[in-house]
Structure formats: structure tokens, C-alpha cells
Structure 1
Amino acid sequence: MPRPDPSARRLASRLLLSLFLALFGGVLAAAPRVGVLTMQPGEVFFERFGHNALVVDPGDGSEPTSYNFGYFDPEEPDFLSRFVAGTMRYRLVALPLAYDLSLYERAGRGVSVQWLDLDASEATALAAMLAVNARPENAVYDYRYFTDNCSTRVRDALDAATGGLLKRRLTASSLGNTYRGEAVRLAWPDRWMGLGFHLGLSARADRPLSRWDEAFIPMRLADSLRGLSREDGRPLVAEERELLPHRLPVP
């Protein structure tokens, strides 16, 4: 009886391994874990509304990345006039999570994370989208206080990743908050800033907001995420943790 050719056996083993990796490699690769960072308000005027970001943990032992939509250049020649008009240029920046947290720790601002229960395909697609959007040629956007800011960008990214779940659920309910009420409440430690919002906003700022609209406030978005469930009943927020304590007065 002829003996099996060792080289043929090695070739067959390699073919089987290649076939296995082709069929199951995507399944075996760990999907990233995605969370929402919520930063409490600070003492500087542009920190009064709080802040948030999306964090992606690749799950391979490397440093998680914070995708932060809140960066701007105060040295731009027209920055002050754009700030008053509410039309600043902001950008998405990808930062090591530890570095991003260190900035808030020094300022005494509390930070919490809500780790989300996303499907593997959703988390992978969202992480890829953020990486592309953070490229220099894609990162800049025209900031609007109430309708296109760091928090609405986080909201919209999560809504896209979950097939419109956030918009379907959050447009259907309201807490009765208004743009004027939220803006004045958060700005009031700076009396002139609060008065400016109160006098500068039109009557349209007094209409009750849906929870979708009030997500321009990072803390409101975090509250809404806390109460959302997936279509199959799974809570969207799988785990919530405080990363840094808040050491400043609460609005």
C-alpha cells in the first residue's frame, strides 16, 4: 500500500486552513466595543453645555480611541464673529482615550461612559465610519448651537448605526424642554451669556422639543440612551460607568 505524500498532506492542510479562515475569519475577529462618553459642564463659557464623544475599543488590547467632535481653532481670524453668530467651524478628532480623559480630569469635569449593546456588524461599520470621518479632508463641519453640534453628531452616528432606532423612538416623546430654557439654564453661571441667550433667541425657541431635538445637550442624550431598548427588547446601554468624578458645581 503506498504511503501518503507528506507534501500533499501539507498542501491539503494549508488548503483546509485557508478555507476555514475564509469562511470564519470574519466571525472570529472580535468586533469593537462602542461607547458614549458624556462630559459634565465646565467653567469656561464654551464648556457650559457639557460635551460628549464616541469611544471605540478595538478589543485587541490596544488603546481605545475617543472620536471627539468638539475641536475648534480659537485663533481663526473670524472665530469671535462666528462664535457670536453660532456658525463656528468644528472638527472631528481621533484621540487616545487616556489623553482625552486627562484634559477633563485637570479641569475637574466628570466623565462617564455608556457601553452600547450593538451587533457586531453595527459596531464594525460605525467604527469604520468614524475612522473615515476623522480624516483631515472629512473632519471639518459647520457648527450650529442647537442643530449640528458635538452631541447631535454623536446622536446621528448612533442613529445611522442602529438603522434609525434613535430617531424613531426619541421623536415620539417630549419632556417639555425648550431651546431657550435649556440654553439659559446651562449658561446662567455666566449671567451675561444667559441673558444673551434669553434676549437673542426668537419665539420659536419656546416650542417644546422632542427628546430627539433636546439631544443637542450631551447630558440629555445620555438620559435618553439610558431608557432605549433594541427591537428585540435588549437595552441599548449594556453597561454604564463613571470614569472621572465631577468636582464642579452642577447647573
Structure 2
Amino acid sequence: MNKRVLLLLILIVFSKVFYAQAKLSVYSEVSIVTAGSGSELYEAFGHSAIRVKDPLLKLDIIYNYGIFDFNAPNFYSNFAQGKMYYKLERYPFKYFLRSYQLEKRWVKQQVLNLNQAEKQAFFMYLENNALPKNATYLYDPFFNNCATILRDITTSILKDKVNFNTASLENGKTLRELMNAEITHNTWGNFGINLIAGTILDKKRTPLEYMYLPDYVFKNFKNATIEIEGAQKPFVKKEETLLNYKEIKSKTSFLNPILVFSAFAILVFFITYKDIKKKKEPKV
């Protein structure tokens, strides 16, 4: 085996062992990271991930639950129906940020208001989740994705200490309403998901269920409080814009659904009209 490859493998294994046993310092931070939408359909909703940073340990890791193989057969239909396995990957945050910088997508960070024990609990939970035996999960676009997992991890660790105050968010919206607000109307992506997902999109939901969308993860964490010494304090200690780009909107192509189906309807009408007219013509 090449010595450089062997050394790299040793470093990766060592780093995982080191991180798994590391005790975070008082300077550590746990953050919710939200990214804006991209130009591809699977990027249209944006993205959510968790960052753990500790300058004393020289640790700055992103835990990304959105890793998948977009070259897999029937990717888009499986994506819309939730028939895919996703994977958690942990890697240096600088590479995560660089990828969004190249795509010119905005990135915001919400540093959570946690005590030392809570930060360590998040870190150990994520490290355990990143183990090969735990990293893969069955993806669902509405109920088990990169965004909902952050909500579920938070409530699993903090229990009832955290309160997602949803009063400021309108209750009873459907997943279809929320999705249509994210993906531009009259695009093939919007049409395809509306068609494939079916009636599951039409049930009214609570603001906590809106958190399948990264934007609502951001909003719910922003409004949340955490119990500290018997008092309710803001759950987000600090909010930062790491990359400041304009939101990317999906574009309507010339051959959009309305145009295509309108043309098809006109063609059917014309053929039907000609057929009826032909039958009514007197025979000589």
C-alpha cells in the first residue's frame, strides 16, 4: 500500500478515536447551520446541518445528514417518494462552507445557548451517530430528512428543557402549501413532486411539522427558548451570516408544464373537432 494512503487512513482513524474521546472546552460551540436553496431540484429547499467548534481542541466539524448518491437509478422519483437511504458524514467545516461559496448560496449559523454538559451531550450523540454502523438512515422528504433530524436530535437530548414557541407561526398549513412556496410554480420540479407525493401533502400540519424545511428549522430555533436555572432564555445565543448571497430561485423553462399541457389540450381539441366535422359531412 502507498505510504501516503496508509498515513491518511491512520490519521482518519486516529481523528475519529480522538474526537470520540474528546472533552469539549468552555470555548466550544454547537450551532445549527442553514443554507439557502440551490439550482437543482434536490437543493430547492435549502439545507440544514450541525456544527461543533472548539478552538482550544482545534476542532471544527460539520455533521451533514444530507449525503446521498444522486447518480443512483430513478433518483428524482425516489427522492420525491422518500425511497432512498441517506448518510451522515462528518468532515471539516471549511469544506462545507467552501462548497456553498462556490455555488453562491447563503449560509447562516445559530449558536445554541447550551451549558457545558449539554454541548458535550450533543457532541457525543453526533459522534456516535457518525459511526459506520449508525450513519445510514431511510430518508423521507417530509418526515425524516436533514432538517427534521436536527429537531429530533435536539428534543432527544434536551427533552422538555427546550420549548419551540410556535405561536408566531401560522398553524394548519399543508405540506403542499409549504412546498409550493419553496419551489417556483409552473416548473417541472413543482409539478413532479405535487404529482408523485399525492394526498399526503394535503393534511394540515403543526409548525413543528413544518421543520422538514430548513427555513422553518431556522425560524423555529430562532423563536425557541431553553430553561436555564429555572428561567426561560433564548435558545439561540448568537446568529451569524457566514455567506451572504441572494436566494436562488428555480426558473420556469420555455417548455413548462402549463405550455406543454395547454398545447396538448389544443391538439386534442383540434383532432376531436376535425373528427366530429368529418362525421357530419354528407356522403356523396
TM-score, with structure 2 as normaliser? 0.72
> Is 1:33 matched with 2:29?
yes
Distance 2:57 2:23 in 1: 18
For 2:160 and 2:42, how far apart are their aligned partners in 1? 30
- In the TM superposition, what is the alpha-carbon distance from 1:220 to its structure 2 partner? 0.7
Aligned residue identity for 2:62: S
User: What are the superposed Cα offsets for residues 76-130 of structure 1, whole Å, 9 maximum, x if unpaired?
Assistant: 4564553243211110010111110000010010000000001211110110110
Do structure 1's residue 210 and structure 2's residue 209 form an aligned pair?
Answer: no
Counterpart contact for 1:167–1:212, Cα < 8 Å: no
Give 1:61 deviation, angstroms: 4.9
Rg: which structure is higher? 2
Amino acid at match of 1:226: K
Deviation at 1:202, TM superposition (A): 3.5
Is the Cα–Cα contact under 8 Å of residues 80 and 197 in structure 2 kept in the other structure?
A: no
Q: Unaligned regions of 5+ residues in structure 2, if any? A: 1-21, 251-284
Task: State the Cα distance separating 1:199 from its structure 2 match.
Answer: 3.2
1:52 CA drift (Å): 0.8
CA distance in structure 1 between the partners assigned to 2:143 and 2:56 by the alignment? 36
> For residues 166 and 233 of structure 1, what CA distance do their matches in structure 2 show?
9
| Structure-1 separation of matches of 2:35 and 2:122 | 21
Percentage identity across aligned positions? 27
> Which segments of 5 or more consecutive residues in structure 1 lack a partner in the other structure?
1-25
In structure 2, the partner of 1:184 is 180
Aligned pair partner of 1:45 in 41, 46, 53: 41
CA shift digits 1:147-167 (9 cap, x unpaired): 000001111111122114557
- Secondary structure at the aligned position of 2:159 is classed as coil
Q: How many residues align?
A: 226
* Correspondent of 2:216 among 199, 214, 220: 220
2:245 corresponding residue in structure 1: 246
Q: Which amino acid aligns with 1:106?
A: L
Q: Is the 8 A contact 1:41 1:50 kept in 2?
A: yes
Q: Which amino acid aligns with 2:235?
A: L
The yes-or-no answer on 1:133 pairing with 2:132 is no
Partner Cα separation in structure 1 for residue 80 and residue 66 of structure 2: 17
**Equivalent residues of 1:108, 1:248 under 8 A apart:** no
Task: Provide closer, same or farther for how the CA distance between residues 206 and 103 of structure 1 changes in structure 2, counting only shifts above 3 A.
Answer: same
Q: Distance in 2 between matches of 1:242 and 1:49?
A: 18
- Aligned partner of 2:153 in structure 1 is 157
CA contact (8 A) 1:184 1:197 kept: no
Kept in 1: contact 2:36–2:248 (CA 8 A): no
Aligned CA-pair RMSD:
2.7
Give a deviation string over 1:121-142, Cα, whole Å, max 9, x none: 1110110110111122211101
The amino acid of 1:192's aligned partner reads W
| In structure 2, C-alpha distance between the alignment counterparts of 1:250 and 1:77, rounded to whole Å | 26
Q: 1:31·1:123 contact (CA, 8 Å) conserved in 2?
A: no
Which position in structure 2 is the counterpart of 1:113?
109
Paired residue type of 2:239: E
Cα distance change, pair 219–47 in 1 and its aligned pair in 2 (3 A): same
Task: Measure how far apart 1:170 and its partner are.
Answer: 5.0
Structure 1 residues 50 and 202, CA, compared in 2 at 3 Å: closer, same or farther?
Answer: same
Instruction: Verify the 8 A CA contact 2:39 2:248 in the aligned structure 1.
Output: no
1:46-125 equivalent positions in 2, closer than 5 A: 46-77=42-73, 79=75, 82-125=78-121
User: Which AA in structure 2 matches 1:158?
Assistant: T
AA aligned to 2:237 is A
SS in 1 for 2:32: strand
Secondary structure at the residue paired with 2:246?
A: coil
Match of residue 230 from structure 1: 226
Which deviates further from its counterpart, 161-170 or 49-58?
A: 161-170
Whether the 8 Å CA contact 1:56–1:64 is kept in 2: the answer is yes
Shift, 1:236, TM fit: 0.3
